[in-house]
């Protein structure tokens, strides 16, 4: 009988909860190069979970700098043979988030796994988590990856879009193979925009617009969305111009509509001239999304329409000046319905999908992606 006990334990091990098994914990920051995807200055930014290097604190608007500490568009990729995965991490901001944003999107994580055909598949957490105001642990149990490679299955872990991380560690079954994937060295698509781009307000991080685009176009994307702060300041365009990008997406009107029309034209033309003087990458200018509640909010629709018209005027002026590789995405190409917003200002899951499809169509065309 005593010889059967080890055999029974071995057979039952995959069925045991994570807490009953020994886990080995590893940080994506522990190697020479931080294994953080979605950063344009990964090595310079250093061993943290911020989006920008410290030197930008003195040049960027204060709001933009503070928001750059939040993990919008960042992810960690790893390969493992483990059947159980846990992640524990510390938060700089309270985990509850905002009234128009699910805590899971504000402060949670999202896990996807890749199959042999290269497709990514979402993996539900099934509420296996421990939430505290400043620390969270999330677990994925008894995974059954199909057609795993010799060294395991590749996973993508999306970080919170609206919180700043103090630390993050990934735990896997003791004895399982595990390695982080180095960040891509391909030139990224760089997206500058508002809270909508930063990640408001799908239900979870994997459904943020830029994360959908990166996953489905299979190319790196840098999220430079700054909630309430996409005002096209010169310092922002100088920052963008440092990046060796595959393409730039400029999507500020959901915030810049607060400027008068002449100021929109001025900031857009001057900013894109600054960007073009240092980069030949394609530039896509994006109008503000359609107002999905326009039947009963006609005044708001007119206000955004005036701002979109000013943005288009800037585009036409730049084209007339001979600015090359400049493209435009009108809001009629963002196919919204009345069900696509969470409160009339930010897209929900359906709206983020509509946005992402419009982005994908344009980016494929201007950046020669399959």
CATH code (residue 114): 2.60.120.260
Alpha helices in the chain (DSSP H): 4-12, 42-45, 62-67, 103-107, 195-198, 209-217, 234-241, 253-256, 261-278, 298-320, 349-367
CA distance 55 to 63: 15
Residues 173 and 195 in one domain: no
Q: What are the structure tokens assigned to 93, written together?
A: 């901001």
Coil, strand, or helix at residue 346?
A: coil
Same domain, 175 and 193: no
Q: Which of 246, 341, 359 is nearest to 301 (CA)?
A: 341
Position 358 in a domain = yes
Place of tokens 């685009």: 213
- Same domain flag for 348 and 209: yes
Which region holds residue 345: left if phi is over 0, alpha if psi is between -120 and 50, else beta? Answer: alpha
Res 16: pLDDT: 42
Residue 11 lies in a domain: no
Task: Tell me the C-alpha distance between 142 and 139, whole Å.
Answer: 10
Q: Among 180, 199, 221, which residue terminates a domain?
A: 180
Distance CA 34, CA 31 (A): 6
Establish if 5 belongs to a structural domain: no
Q: Same domain, yes or no, for 159 and 211?
A: no
Look at residue 340 and give its three-state secondary structure. coil
CB 369 within 8 A of CB 361: no
Q: What SS3 state is found at 220?
A: coil
171 and 28 in one domain?
yes
> If the chain, 370 residues long, is cut into consecutive pieces of 10 residues, what is the mean pLDDT of each piece?
42 43 95 97 98 98 98 98 97 86 95 95 96 93 87 96 97 97 97 98 98 98 98 98 98 97 98 98 97 86 94 98 98 96 96 98 95
Report, in angstroms and rounded to the nearest whole number, the Rg of the chain calculated over CA atoms: 22
Distance CA 287, CA 281 (A): 20
Residues 32 and 53 in one domain: yes
In the chain, the number of structural domains is 2
**Cα–Cα distance, 148 to 156 (Å, whole number):** 15
Per-residue pLDDT at 34: 98
d(CA 310, CA 61): 23
Instruction: Give the domain extent around 154.
Output: 20-180
| Nearest-angstrom CA–CA distance, 99 and 366 | 37
- Pairing of the two strands 135-140 and 23-26: unpaired
Q: 320 and 283, same structural domain?
A: yes
Q: What CA–CA distance (Å, rounded) separates 223 from 221?
A: 6
**Domain match, 195 and 334 both:** yes
What's the CA dihedral at 199, 68, 214, 244 to 10 degrees?
150
Q: Report if residue 14 sits inside a domain.
A: no
Residues 134 and 256 in one domain: no
Residue 27 lies in a domain: yes
Question: Taking a C-beta distance cutoff of 8 angstroms, is the pair 219, 162 a contact?
Answer: no
233 & 265 share domain:
yes
Burial label, 5 (beta-carbon count in 10 A; 0-12, 13-18, 19+) = exposed
At 108, list the tokens.
């949670």
Beta-bridge mates of residue 35:
none
Instruction: State residue 20's pLDDT score.
Output: 54
Of the three residues 180, 210, 233, the one that is the final residue of a domain is: 180
Residue 195 lies in a domain: yes
pLDDT at residue 276 in the model: 98
Per the domain annotation, does 297 fall within a domain?
A: yes
- Do 197 and 60 have their domain in common? no
Q: 258 in a domain, yes or no? A: yes
pLDDT of residue 8: 38
pTM assigned to the model: 0.94
Q: Omega into 201 within 30° of 0, i.e. cis?
A: yes
- 200 with 100, same domain: the answer is no
Tokens at 341, concatenated: 């917003």
Q: How many residues does the chain have?
A: 370
Nearest Cα neighbor of 222 from 189, 252, 200, 244 is 189
Which of 140, 163, 180 is the last residue before a domain boundary?
Answer: 180
Residue 207: DSSP 8-state = G
């Amino acid at each position: 009988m005593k010889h059967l006990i080890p055999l029974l334990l071995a057979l039952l091990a995959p069925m045991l909860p994570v807490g009953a098994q020994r886990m080995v914990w590893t940080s994506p920051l522990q190697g020479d190069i931080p294994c953080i995807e979605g950063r344009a200055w990964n090595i310079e930014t250093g061993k943290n979970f911020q989006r920008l290097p410290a030197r930008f604190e003195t040049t960027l608007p204060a709001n933009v700098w503070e928001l750059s500490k939040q993990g919008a568009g960042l992810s960690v990729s790893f390969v493992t043979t483990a059947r159980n995965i846990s992640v524990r991490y510390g938060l700089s901001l309270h985990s509850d988030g905002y009234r128009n944003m699910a805590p899971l999107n504000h402060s949670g994580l999202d896990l996807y796994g890749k199959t042999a055909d290269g497709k990514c598949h979402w993996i539900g957490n099934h509420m296996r988590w421990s939430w505290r105001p400043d620390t969270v642990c999330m677990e994925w149990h008894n995974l059954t990856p199909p057609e795993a490679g010799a060294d395991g299955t590749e996973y993508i872990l999306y970080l919170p879009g609206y919180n700043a991380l103090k630390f993050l560690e990934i735990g896997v079954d003791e004895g399982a193979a595990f390695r982080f994937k180095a960040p891509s060295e391909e030139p990224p698509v760089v997206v500058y925009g508002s809270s909508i781009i930063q990640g408001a307000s799908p239900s979870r991080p994997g459904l943020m617009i830029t994360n959908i685009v990166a996953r489905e176009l299979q190319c790196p994307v840098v999220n430079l969305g700054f909630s309430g702060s996409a005002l096209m300041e010169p310092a922002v365009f100088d920052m963008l111009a440092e990046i060796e990008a595959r393409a730039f997406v400029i999507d500020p009107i959901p915030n810049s509509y607060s400027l008068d029309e002449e100021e929109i034209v001025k900031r857009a033309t001057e900013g894109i001239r600054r960007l073009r003087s240092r980069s030949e990458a394609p530039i896509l200018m994006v109008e503000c999304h359609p107002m999905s509640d326009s039947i009963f909010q006609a005044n708001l629709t007119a206000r955004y329409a005036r701002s979109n018209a000013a943005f288009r005027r800037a585009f036409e002026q730049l084209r007339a000046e001979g600015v090359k590789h400049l493209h435009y995405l009108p809001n009629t190409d963002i196919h919204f319905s009345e069900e696509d917003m969470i409160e009339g200002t930010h897209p929900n899951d359906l709206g983020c999908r509509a946005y992402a499809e419009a982005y994908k169509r344009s980016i494929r065309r201007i950046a020669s992606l399959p």
